[in-house]
């Protein structure tokens, strides 16, 4: 199942057999980082640290100083603020990976994708792949 967190609610979407083919996939959900990472082959990361309140601040703070962001999640001052917030959380996850499951790969689906992947690559030993939802071949993931 694919998990999406919105506020305090968790939503699940079961995978149909026609989506997985002959793959032997097992998905699990856990609230603890260590337990979630044990015996995993890869981890899909899609987070928004601070929720909509943080997103609002990341857009409004630069706006007060004349920097207008159209989206504000990848570039410009808003993207930089988002990068600082998201990178901190994802690096914490990557460092936990190093201790618990060093061969686990992160599949990152969080913007700013390039900044996050670069930070994890430079600051940890964990492999990471960035998946941009705006790229046609990865948008169905």
Contact assessment for residue 110 and residue 46, using Cβ atoms and an 8 Å cutoff: yes
Higher pLDDT, 132 or 113: 113
Cα distance between residue 6 and residue 112, in whole Å: 19
Share the mean pLDDT of the chain: 79
Per-residue pLDDT, averaged over 106-116, amounts to 91
pLDDT at 8 over 50: no
Count of alpha carbons within 13 Å of 81, Cβ hemisphere only? 18
The question of whether 109 is a catalytic residue gets the answer: no
Higher pLDDT, 124 or 13: 124
Higher pLDDT, 41 or 11: 41
Q: Does the pTM of the predicted model rise above 0.85?
A: no
Catalytic residue among 97, 121, 133, 140: 133
pLDDT at residue 140, as a whole number: 55
């Amino acid at each position: 199942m694919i998990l999406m967190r919105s506020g305090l609610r968790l939503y699940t979407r079961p995978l149909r057999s026609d989506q997985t083919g002959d793959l032997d996939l097992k998905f699990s959900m856990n609230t603890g980082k260590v337990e979630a990472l044990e015996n995993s082959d890869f981890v899909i990361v899609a987070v928004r640290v601070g929720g909509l309140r943080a997103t609002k601040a990341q857009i409004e703070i630069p706006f007060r100083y004349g920097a207008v962001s159209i989206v504000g999640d990848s570039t410009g001052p808003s993207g930089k603020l988002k990068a600082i917030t998201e990178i901190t959380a994802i690096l914490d996850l990557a460092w936990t990976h190093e201790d618990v499951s060093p061969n686990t790969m992160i599949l990152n689906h969080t913007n700013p994708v390039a900044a996050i992947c670069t930070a994890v690559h430079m600051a940890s030993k964990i492999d990471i792949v960035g998946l941009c939802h705006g790229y046609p071949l990865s948008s169905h993931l």
